[in-house]
Structure 1
Amino acid sequence: MSPLLIAMTLLGCSDAGDQCQAVRVLAPRYQTVDACNAAAEEILTRTTDVSYPVVAVHCQKADAPVVALASR
């Protein structure tokens, strides 16, 4: 069985943070959701090329469909 890989998806959201859409899936893949979440703040700090009022990340199993969630 192959190891579970977690993908970090960058989301662009409305001002209210309630209407989000996937902008891109970022590399690298992570071994756990906790590791992905731990990297999120640093990724968001250096993401400056997204034209949305709110930018968030969502960590999930790499082969799962993207679920648009509001910023945490």
Structure 2
Amino acid sequence: MGPGFYVIAILGCADGSAGCTPVATLSTRYESRQACLAATPAALNENGDFDYPTLYAQCRPAKAPAAERAPRPAPQGTLQG
């Protein structure tokens, strides 16, 4: 089973594909890798204002925000002080 959703990361590269640095992670979540990949050209066009000679858009698996994760059960036992 794969991740719950994907996000698009924008990478800025100083020298072609070498030395790329993440410059933004977009907040839109995609339920499949295919949907994410289909959205990357538009995302790159809308987020191309970073000062790098080359920009790439990359789909990455994302973790659910803390509020959306299942709560952890309380630890068993007692605290001793």
Where on the TM-score scale, by shorter chain, does this alignment land: which range? 0.7 to 0.9
- Tell me the equivalent position of 2:62: 62
Q: Which protein has greater RCO, CA pairs closer than 8 Å, 6+ apart?
A: 1
TM-score (norm 2): 0.67
TM-fit CA distance, 1:51 = 0.5
> What is the alpha-carbon distance in structure 1 between the residues aligned to residue 62 and residue 7 of structure 2?
5
Identity %: 33
Q: Given that residues 48 and 55 in structure 2 are in contact (C-alpha distance below 8 angstroms), is that contact kept between their aligned partners in structure 1?
A: no
- Tell me the equivalent position of 2:11: 11
Segments of 5+ residues of structure 2 without an aligned counterpart are 64-81
> What is the alpha-carbon distance in structure 2 between the residues aligned to residue 13 and residue 33 of structure 1?
23
**Structure number with bigger Rg:** 2
- How many residue pairs get matched? 61
The amino acid of 2:57's aligned partner reads V
Segments of 5+ residues of structure 1 without an aligned counterpart are 64-72
TM-fit CA distance, 1:14 = 1.8
